[in-house]
C-alpha cells in the first residue's frame, strides 16, 4: 500500500496552482472604460462606448447582450469612422503559459468586408474600407498604425467572405512564445474597427490574459498527473500482491 500512496503523493506535488490572470485589467468592462484608452480618427462619427442590453448604443440596432456581466465595449456611429480601443501591459518575467482570450461581436451592415491595399485604418481614404482587427502592437505605437514594425502580432482580422454579422464568438490564443520573446517590453493590445461603407458595430467583452509561471501546470494537466499517479500506484500495488 505504501507504493500506491507514494505515487499519488508524487502526482499531487506537481498538481500546482492553475494559471492566473494578470493585466489586462477590467476586461469585462463592468467598471466602465477604466484602464482602457479610446481613440477616434479625426472626423469620425461614433466611438467605442459601453453597450448593455440588446440594442447598439447609438443606432439602436439589434445586437446580442454582453456575454459576461452587464457591459461590453462596442463601436457604433451614424456615419463613417475609425475607432481604436487599447490597453498597454508589461510582462517582466518568463511565463510557463500565456492564454489571451476575448469575445467579439461583428455587426457589419454593409454588403461585404473591404480591406484596402495598402492596408490602412483610415476611414477617409478614397477606397472602400470596412473591417475589424485585433493586434498586439509595440508600446508607444500610433494607435492606428499597421506598419510591420509596430504590429508585432495579429490575433484576428475580418476578411472577404466572412459572415457579416456573427458573435459573440469566443477566441483563446496561446501567446506563450510571443510573451517570452518580448519580456520587459510594454505591449499594446488593440481592438480596431473602420467603416466608410455602412454602419458597423464591433463588440468586445471578456478580455483576459491568463499566465502560468514556469514550472506550474495548468489545472487540466494537473488532473492528468493525478490520474496517472493513481494508475501507476494501482499497477505497483497489483504487482506487489502477485505471487
Residue 107 in grid coordinates = 455587426
pTM score: 0.81
User: CA-to-CA distance for 120 and 130, rounded, in angstroms?
Assistant: 10
| Tens-digit pLDDT profile for residues 197-241 | 999 999 999 999 999 988 655 455 544 544 444 444 444 444 444
- Residue linked to cell 474600407: 129
Task: Compute CA 59 distance to the chain's CA centroid, rounded to the nearest angstrom.
Answer: 26
Phi-psi region of 58 (alpha: psi -120 to 50; beta: other; left: phi over 0): alpha
What residues have CB less than 8 Å from 52, skipping those under 6 apart?
Answer: 65, 66, 70, 71, 72
Share of the chain above pLDDT 70, in %: 79
User: CA-to-CA distance for 43 and 130, rounded, in angstroms?
Assistant: 16
| Tens-digit pLDDT profile for residues 23-51 | 789 999 999 999 999 999 999 999 999 99
User: CA-to-CA distance for 25 and 31, rounded, in angstroms?
Assistant: 10
User: CA-to-CA distance for 133 and 8, rounded, in angstroms?
Assistant: 47
| Tens-digit pLDDT profile for residues 80-136 | 999 999 999 998 899 999 999 999 999 999 999 999 999 999 999 999 999 999 999
Amino acid at each position: 500500500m505504501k507504493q500506491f500512496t507514494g505515487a499519488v503523493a508524487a502526482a499531487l506535488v506537481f498538481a500546482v496552482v492553475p494559471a492566473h490572470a494578470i493585466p489586462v485589467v477590467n476586461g469585462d468592462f463592468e467598471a466602465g472604460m477604466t484602464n482602457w484608452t479610446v481613440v477616434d480618427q479625426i472626423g469620425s462619427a461614433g466611438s467605442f462606448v459601453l453597450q448593455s442590453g440588446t440594442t447598439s448604443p447609438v443606432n439602436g440596432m439589434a445586437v446580442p447582450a454582453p456575454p459576461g456581466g452587464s457591459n461590453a465595449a462596442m463601436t457604433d456611429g451614424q456615419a463613417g469612422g475609425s475607432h481604436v480601443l487599447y490597453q498597454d501591459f508589461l510582462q517582466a518575467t518568463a511565463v510557463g503559459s500565456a492564454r489571451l482570450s476575448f469575445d467579439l461581436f461583428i455587426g457589419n451592415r454593409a454588403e461585404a468586408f473591404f480591406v484596402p491595399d495598402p492596408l490602412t485604418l483610415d476611414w477617409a481614404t478614397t477606397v472602400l474600407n470596412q473591417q475589424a482587427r485585433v493586434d498586439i502592437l509595440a508600446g508607444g505605437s500610433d494607435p492606428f498604425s499597421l506598419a510591420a514594425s509596430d504590429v508585432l502580432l495579429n490575433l484576428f482580422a475580418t476578411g472577404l467572405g466572412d459572415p457579416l454579422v456573427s458573435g459573440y464568438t469566443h477566441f483563446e490564443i496561446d501567446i506563450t512564445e510571443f510573451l517570452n520573446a518580448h519580456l520587459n517590453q510594454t505591449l499594446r493590445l488593440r481592438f480596431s474597427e473602420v467603416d466608410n461603407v455602412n454602419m458597423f458595430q464591433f463588440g468586445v467583452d471578456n478580455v483576459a490574459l491568463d499566465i502560468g509561471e514556469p514550472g506550474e501546470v495548468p489545472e487540466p494537466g494537473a488532473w492528468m498527473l493525478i490520474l496517472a499517479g493513481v494508475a501507476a500506484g494501482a499497477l505497483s500495488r497489483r504487482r506487489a500482491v502477485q505471487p
